[in-house]
Structure 1
Amino acid sequence: MKFKCIIFDLDGTLADTLKDIAEAMNRALILRAYPPIIEEKYITMIGWGIRRLAFLALPAAARDEKTVEALAADAARFYVERPLTYSRPYPGIPAVVAELKRRRLKTAVLTNKPDPVTTLVVNGLFPPGSFDLIRGEKAGVPRKPDPASTWEILMELDRTPRETIFIGDSEIDMETAHAADCHALGVSWGFRDRSALEAAGADRIIDTPEELLPLMDITM
């Protein structure tokens, strides 16, 4: 089957954002007198949104709601200040995104990163108009893996789940794809390993961005 629409995850799929996220959270931890975490440990902690990241970053004894919310707010503030110091698109991604646009295929970005900074990061890494829609976490809208945001995007793009690829690097993305009835496409270059994607039910896993193009319907 050829697909007509792609919804991309951001962190670990379109771009390597790990160091900027880790630095923002570590600044927040140090500010509140908690020990920072080595960058590599953040690989398994990213994907559920800033509050969950703050929860996981705190020592177990400090994970009360008030402390989690305060740490998340600090980290979000620090991240907005410097979201693009180290973040870069993965090799091959800019060319593939440009080709999808040239072919006039519908594309969107959906992430659990807060919506304002999502727009800031995507527009800072890609030329204007690279994606038809960009969506991050918004108040009152369930985060991935809830399918609500995916379905809202598809309604706006006038596409159906069965003609859509949901592409991501994590279990959350595969769960989102299945919940929304989209094709679950995992990428091996992101923050999770292949075994995690397989266990989460990826319909297919690709190793390079270029492998995405043959899956798309170019007879529009």
Structure 2
Amino acid sequence: MKTYRTYLFDFDYTLADSSKGIVMCYRIVLERHGHTGISDEEIKRTIGKTLVESFSILSGVTDAGILETYRKEYVKEADKYMTANTRLFLETAEVLAKLKAQGAKIGIISTKYRYRIMELLSHALPEGTIDLIVGGEDVQTPKPSPEGVFLALEKLNAEKTSTLYIGDSTVDAETARAAGTDFAGVLHGTTTREELAAYPHVDVMKDLTKLL
């Protein structure tokens, strides 16, 4: 794999495993409203989508007002449980530190709220490791829209041709394709190698160490 000047990462299932907290918060809200019999795996398969999209998939509800109620309830639960139940993958800190030492710019593009990512990373990574976080509240249109990537490229003064987008899901692959950047998949999540390889990619990696 060639060396890039800018690396843009998805967060959940790419840099960190927050699936325990995510499942917990979805289950609390879903069961509160009578949506039972939903497996952990079904919930995990929605990671990377917006909260509204995920709740609609999991519950079958399409009413925008009800879904917004679910979203707000999830956020309240996540304020209590998410950070304590999120861990960086074992190689994340080392890989980011080495990329940074090589002079690369590092950004995060996520549907997760920026403040929640910052809360976790403030305890897990040295200050200055991440140059930019684009969270769900920073864009009008979520992934796979390229809006977040374009915003990051602008703020980091980065070129598409020297930027690699790294993610675990087909949503991430679609985002990179829409933005016109190279894409590398990572198999930390529930998406298979075959699913990721169906999209334009420079690599589908077992973990992030391949970036080095």
Q: Normalising to structure 1: TM-score of the pair?
A: 0.89
Say if 1:29 and 1:36, in contact at 8 Å, map to a contact too.
Answer: no
Match in the other structure for 1:50: 51
Residue pair 2:139, 2:147 contacting (<8 A) in 1 also: no
Please tell me whether the aligned partners of residues 185 and 202 of structure 1 are also in contact (alpha carbons under 8 angstroms).
yes
Deviation at 1:140, TM superposition (A): 5.3
Identity %: 25
State the one-letter code of the partner of 1:40.
E
**Equivalent residues, number:** 211
- AA aligned opposite 1:135: V
CA distance in 2, matches of 1:153, 1:202: 20
Moved more, 31-40 or 174-183: 31-40
Deviations 1:79-129 (A, max 9, x none): 122212222111211111111222221000010112332322333433322
Q: What is the letter of the counterpart of residue 144 of structure 1? A: K
Matched, 1:155 2:154: yes
Matched letter for residue 50 of structure 2? G
Which residue of the partner structure matches residue 102 of structure 1?
A: 101
Using the alignment, how far apart are the partners of 2:44 and 2:201 within structure 1? 19
Change (3 A) 1:14 1:173: same
Q: 1:52 & 1:6 partners in 2: Cα distance?
A: 27
Q: Structure 1's 68 and 187: CA in aligned 2 closer, same or farther, altered over 3 A?
A: same
Return the offset for 1:75. 0.8
DSSP 3-state at the match of 2:83: coil
User: Counterpart amino acid of 1:178?
Assistant: R
Structure 1 residue runs without a partner (length 5+) = 214-220
Note the 1:168-207 alignment, pairs <5 A.
Answer: 168-207=167-206
Alignment of 1:50-199 (within 5 A): 50-58=51-59, 60=60, 62-138=61-137, 141-199=140-198
Structure 2 counterpart of 1:26, one-letter code: R
Are residue 19 (structure 1) and residue 47 (structure 2) matched? Answer: no
Instruction: Mark the CA change 1:208 to 1:17 in structure 2 (over 3 Å): closer, same or farther.
Output: same
The amino acid of 2:91's aligned partner reads: G
- Structure 2 distance, partners of 1:178, 1:139, is 20
Instruction: Give the CA deviation at 1:36.
Output: 5.8
Residues 19 and 44 in structure 2, CA contact (< 8 A), matched pair in contact too: yes
Question: Could you tell me which amino acid in structure 1 is paired with residue 184 of structure 2?
Answer: L
Partner of 1:119: helix, strand, or coil?
A: helix
SS at 1:46's partner residue? coil
CA distance in 2, matches of 1:8, 1:203: 15
Alignment-mate amino acid for residue 65 of structure 1: A
Q: Give the structure 2 partner of residue 35 of structure 1.
A: 36
The 10-residue stretch of structure 1 (108-117 or 11-20) with the greater mean CA deviation from structure 2: 108-117
Supply the distance in 1 between the matched residues of 2:199 and 2:44 (Cα, whole angstroms).
17
Query: Structure 2 stretches of 5 or more lacking a match?
Result: none
| TM-score relative to the length of structure 2 | 0.92
CA distance in 2, matches of 1:33, 1:167: 36
8 Å CA contact 1:162–1:183 kept in 2: the answer is yes
